[in-house]
Amino acid sequence: MTDDPVIEESVLVHAPPDEVYAAVADLRRMGEWSPECFRIWVPGGVVRPGAAFVGFNRIGRRFWFTTCRVTTARPGEEFAFRVTLLGIPAARWGYRFEADGDGATRLTEYFLDLRRGFRGSRLWAALGDRYDRVPPGGREQHNRAGMRTTLERVKRAIESSPPGTR
């Protein structure tokens, strides 16, 4: 593991936690929301702890894929997964769903960079950031901006859909 801090961003979604969870845990929809991940393939279509999936990502003209494994799938509470790139640990991404009390949900997206916990990690992290055109020391700002975009898109999609169809 690593001592790096977890990066988090949150948004208030006017829908109950179970509905927000159902939308976010439907990984096939991630391409609607993420500014980098444009498609996810889930073999067998089943999302549960231990399930594997592939994320297809791009920034500009650069394209790559990651292999991922669901680590947490607790409806209405938390959904998380570990990401590897070429078999090397890359990140842990997740979402927490907290009831607001007024029928809304505080949706929090979080990220932990696992590259620094890997042998040769400084080089691995630097190469990954250079490939993504992230300035030195700018990974946190880059990910925060992407997370805010993702969360706002999730919020808009859920709040603009009738209850029960989200």
Runs of H (alpha helix) within 11-138: 17-25, 30-33, 121-131
Which pair of tokens denotes residue 5? 């801090």
CATH number, domain 7-159: 3.30.530.20
Of 87, 157, 145, 155, nearest to 111 (Cα)? 145
Contact between 15 and 166 under an 8 Å Cβ cutoff? The reply is yes
pLDDT at 85 over 50: yes
Give the H or E element holding residue 148: helix 139-159
Give the chain's count of helices (H) and strands (E). Answer: 4, 7
44: left (phi over 0), alpha (psi -120 to 50) or beta: left
Q: What is the pLDDT of residue 60?
A: 79
Lowest-confidence segment of 46-50, 71-75, 87-91, 119-123 by average pLDDT: 119-123
- If one compares 124 and 77, the residue with the highest pLDDT of the two is 77
Q: What is the pLDDT of residue 105?
A: 98
pLDDT at 114 over 90: no
Q: What is the pLDDT of residues 118-127, one digit of tens each?
A: 555 455 555 5
Q: What is the pLDDT of residue 5?
A: 65
